[in-house]
Amino acid sequence: MEPGKPKIGKIDRETFESFLLARLGRPDPSVVVPPQTGVDAGVVDLGDGRVLIIAEDPIFAIPGQPWEMFGWYTVHIGASDVAVMGVPPRYMTYSLLMPPETEDAAFRAIVDAIHGAALELGIAIVGGHTGYYPGFAAPTIGGVTVFAIADRDGSVTPAGARPGNAVILTKGPAIETAGILSVLRERELLGRYPEPLVRKAQALCRQMTVVRDALTAMAAGGVTAMHDATEGGVIGGLAEVSEASGVGMAVDESRFVYPDEVRIVCEAFGIDPVAAIAEGSLIITAEAGKTGRIIGELGKAGIAASVIGEVTADTGTRVMKRRDGSEVPLRMPDQDPFWPVFFEGLK
């Protein structure tokens, strides 16, 4: 990050590892998966052959979208970070913080949508906080925390990829980027592309979840690691899985599922789709012999997926072959290209 430049998005890896990881309170041997780069949830050993899986996220409202969508995101984005560990989310808490002028209809729409999405996913809401406070420009989820309980050997983490595994990607890159920007900057897109294609891009907002992707893949068998490609996009997510697992990786962008509606949004705003925020795009590593079944089961669930590469033993080789034939290293982008375009659209 350039000195003096405003910071947008997640804290940088250097600060996370050198500062935050040294400030995690009292060490406890029951914490079997502590906070670490690229790992979506923490895991605590309950001492009876089971583990508690915990994930937390803030959720921000997207201008131009109904409050019902904000409530839906709240549950699905939080639940996705537990589902990628290979287990169904079971409990959640959330804190809804609203400006004092928030209309009662908006409050009720948000809470009704959270309730509905939790019912849909079989999640019990067990606590939280709701109130009105100055200083907020719009209703905000200060944190949604999602929990699951699983057998100790019944889950996976993003650190489980092994040499010889295949790498699978669901839905393609930049799902969140295309969905959000097609709503926020609708007028610009309608001036350049057919309306049905823009509407398809806007419909991607309902694909900003990997709960079904992850649970379907896990049930198919052979999964060794999963990771939700959020900030930093698919290339950042692949880098995090490689680093967390201590492996190399070679992937080919030409093998991605690549929806036209994603292509047009990224093209319109000069965004590299592989580097842009991609909630809804699930990275899976799996035993090579199981990929056909995994992709087949995902297809039955209406989720497009493809094998995009393989895991290797050479940690010095983590590369992506781009569609133009060039090769680039798998690394977390210094700045997710989504954010500048998003904030430009708010002006």
Name the average pLDDT for the chain.
Answer: 94
At residue 13, does pLDDT exceed 90? no
Amino acid 1: pLDDT: 47
CA gap 339, 8 in Å, rounded: 7
Return the bridge partners of 282, or none: 228
Residue 36's pLDDT is what? 84
Q: pLDDT (tens digit, 9 = 90+) per residue, 300-340?
A: 999 999 999 999 999 999 999 999 999 999 999 988 999 99
* Whole-number pLDDT of residue 6: 65
Q: Which residues, at least 6 apart from 226, have a Cβ–Cβ distance to it below 8 Å?
A: 84, 85, 86, 156, 158, 210, 214, 217, 218, 282, 283, 284, 285
318, 328 contact by CB (below 8 A): no
| Rounded distance between C-alpha atoms, residue 321 and residue 75, angstroms | 35
What percent of the chain is modeled with pLDDT above 90? 88
- Is the dihedral angle over the CA atoms 57, 63, 69, 70 positive or is it negative? positive
What is the second-level CATH architecture of the domain 13-151? 2-Layer Sandwich (3.30)
Give me the percent of the chain exceeding a pLDDT of 70: 98
d(CA 204, CA 208): 7
* Range in 28-32, 37-41, 102-106, 110-114 with the lowest mean pLDDT: 37-41
Could you read off the pLDDT of 259-278 as tens digits, one per residue? 999 999 999 999 999 999 99
pLDDT score recorded for residue 4: 57
Q: Phi/psi of residue 59, each to 5°?
A: -135, 130
Report the pLDDT averaged over residues 72-80.
96
pLDDT in tens, 197-250: 999 999 999 999 999 999 999 999 999 999 999 999 999 999 999 999 999 999
The answer to whether the CB of 63 falls within 8 A of the CB of 99 is: no
Report pLDDT digits (tens) over 93-151. Answer: 999 999 999 999 999 999 999 999 999 999 999 999 999 999 999 999 999 999 999 99
Q: Which of 317, 185, 302 is nearest to 249 (CA)?
A: 317
**260-268 and 195-203 are packed helices; what angle lies between their axes, rounded to 10 degrees?**
100
Residue 71's pLDDT band (boundaries 50, 70, 90)?
very high
* Contact predicate 257/317, CB 8 Å: no
Helix H or strand E segment including 76 = helix 67-83
CATH class assigned to 166-345:
alpha beta
Residue 2 pLDDT grade (very low, low, confident, very high; cuts 50, 70, 90): low
Please answer whether residues 256 and 169 qualify as being in contact, where contact means their C-beta atoms are separated by less than 8 angstroms. Answer: yes
Per-domain residue ranges of the chain: 13-151, 166-345
Report which residue type is found at 332: M
Give tens-digit pLDDT for 154-198.
899 999 999 999 999 999 999 999 999 999 999 999 999 999 999
Q: Is the pLDDT of residue 79 over 90?
A: yes
Q: What is the 3-state secondary structure (H, E, C) of 87-140?
A: CCCCEEEEEEEECCCCCHHHHHHHHHHHHHHHHHHCCEEEEEEEEECCCCCCCE
C-alpha 256/C-alpha 105 separation (Å) is 42
Decide whether 13-151 matches 166-345 in CATH topology. Answer: no
d(CA 275, CA 268) in angstroms, rounded, equals 15
**Whole-structure pTM value:** 0.93
Could you tell me the pLDDT band of residue 7, with boundaries at 50, 70 and 90?
A: low
Whether the CA torsion 291, 306, 300, 88 is positive or negative: it is: positive
Q: What is the pLDDT of residue 174?
A: 97
Q: Which conformational region is residue 237 in: left (phi greater than 0), alpha (psi within -120 to 50 degrees), or beta?
A: alpha
CA 85 to each of CA 148, 156, 300: distance values in angstroms, whole numbers, following the listed order: 10, 5, 22
